[in-house]
Amino acid sequence: MVRTRFAPSPTGHLHIGGLRTAIFNYLFAKANSGEFILRIEDTDKERSREEFTQAILEGLKWCNIEWDEICYQSERNEIYERYLDKLIKEGKAYRCYCSKERLEKLKEEQLKRGENPHYDGHCRNLKDYPKDKPYVVRIKLPEEDIDFFDHLHGDMHFSYKEFDDFIIRRSDGSFMYNFTNVVDDIECGITHVIRGDDHLTNTAKQIVLYRLFGKKPPEYAHVPMILGEDKTRLSKRHGAKSVLEYRQMGILPVALVNYLLRLGFSYGDKEIFSFDEMIRYFSLDRLNKSAAVFNPDKLIWVNFEHMKMMPPDKLLGYLRPFLDEACLSFDDGYLIEAIKTRQTKAQTLVELADEIRFYCKPPEDYDKKAIKKYVKASTKEYLALLLEKLKDADFSSEQALEGIFEDVLKRFDIKMVKLAQPVRIALTGRGIGPGIYEMLMVLGKDETIRRLERFLNVVF
């Protein structure tokens, strides 16, 4: 069975680079009827925070990235100790008592000789271990080159001379990233690892550990990093935000996942994917080898497309947190009809909430520029006649409402804009809004008449 994992460190909020990694691993698992594992790498006691762990979980759940299992590295120390003892007993790892001063002096001497700094194996063959002296644990690096296949980069080769006897446990007893990473992947039965190409060197070290444990490593796919528009590594200065900040901006989770998927994945010219399509089409051979550039405007466009496609009742579920108390006091049926009139115009949930607010709360004032442009002295007469006719109108039929407007237009020999725009201002407070007839049908006869009467009293 295919088993993938996402292994964030709770030392900060979940950002889009990490979310994209989770998306790739989740989709690959589900596309192959496999399982997706979430591993919280919380061994950094100083920087790890429970609030960040909860933010990571909340962000993944919001994006519908559902894990089949979850584990916390902080609860797995006994497992790491067991694997470490095995390496030491088999002579594949050893205690190193070298002081910080000795290591710094060694580094200076190597640099003077034009060498890359590396550990010289001073403690490799110690037979008598000093008592009560701090130590780290290092591996005994085999003199074997490291080769592995990567689904994006092809055959990878590292000379063992590029590495030294790297540390796998610190002097304070905590374990190093590469060690815990390998132990956990072995224990969890991880078959495929998809992650950023900044981990290629780590992968080479991890291959060494797999060999020392006598275990087969997973298959790897190292994807290019996401770049900002200046082609440097993506950061906040490029407009990138944490995952939950995008929720606050009014981005739909499917839109964010869709956009991040396209930053490294392609399926012909297709831009917009449903969740089901993402799973159906995902495969490692469709991952891109070149780095993608994050474009906030393109994300908004993708969100716009998903908002247009989403069934109004489902969209309402996402819209609720952005609605004020006035709107939430109305029943779902009314709000759904209101959403239908504006969901093809708003780019975010924030905009959509603003667009339909007038349905729930009459305008307190009217846009002065719109008034100046569209409301004249003669407008009062047009609206007065329209108001009288609307009192006997059938508000369940656009055709009936259209007939009433046409009667008024013929009576005064005017164009639609001279009547429709003042009506729109009266109902919404603004010069822009939904189509006149659909707007009247949602508001209903009583509310439409109340607003028109107030407008006539206030403006004229």
Q: How far apart are CA 450 and CA 362, in angstroms?
A: 9
- Is residue 460 a part of any domain in this protein? yes
Same domain, 240 and 262: yes
**Can you give the pLDDT at residue 60?**
98
333 and 439 in a common domain: no
- Give pLDDT, residue 58: 97
Q: Are residues 322 and 206 in the same domain?
A: no
Residues 440-457 as b or e (16 or more Cβ within 10 Å = b): bbbbebeebbebbeebbe
pLDDT of residue 402: 96
Q: Do 219 and 82 belong together in one domain? A: yes
Position 320 scores a pLDDT of 97
Asked if residue 350 belongs to a domain, the reply is yes
Q: Say whether pLDDT at 269 is over 90.
A: yes
The CATH number linked to 291 is 1.10.1160.10
Which of these three, 345, 361, 377, is where a domain ends? 361
Amino acid of residue 430? R
For residue 238, the model assigns a pLDDT of 76
Do residues 206 and 266 both lie within one domain?
A: no
Domain range holding 316? 311-361
Output the domain CATH number for residue 139. 3.40.50.620
Confirm whether 303 is domain-assigned: yes
- Mean pLDDT over residues 289-309, rounded? 96
- Residue 26, pLDDT above cutoff 90: yes
Whether residue 334 lies inside any domain: the answer is: yes
Residue 2 within a domain: no
Percent of the chain, pLDDT > 90? 93
326 in the same domain as 216:
no
Q: What is the Cα–Cα distance from 249 to 318, expressed in whole angstroms?
A: 12
- The yes-or-no verdict on residue 239 having pLDDT over 80 is no
- For the chain, the domain total comes to 4
Catalytic residue among 133, 215, 236, 289: 236
Last residue of a domain, one of 196, 223, 250: 223
pLDDT tens digit sequence for 45-84:
888 999 999 999 999 999 999 999 999 999 999 999 999 9
Q: Is residue 453 situated within a structural domain?
A: yes
236 among known catalytic residues: yes
- Across all residues in the chain, what is the average pLDDT? 95
Verify that 93 and 164 share a domain, yes or no.
yes
Place of tokens 């992968």: 203
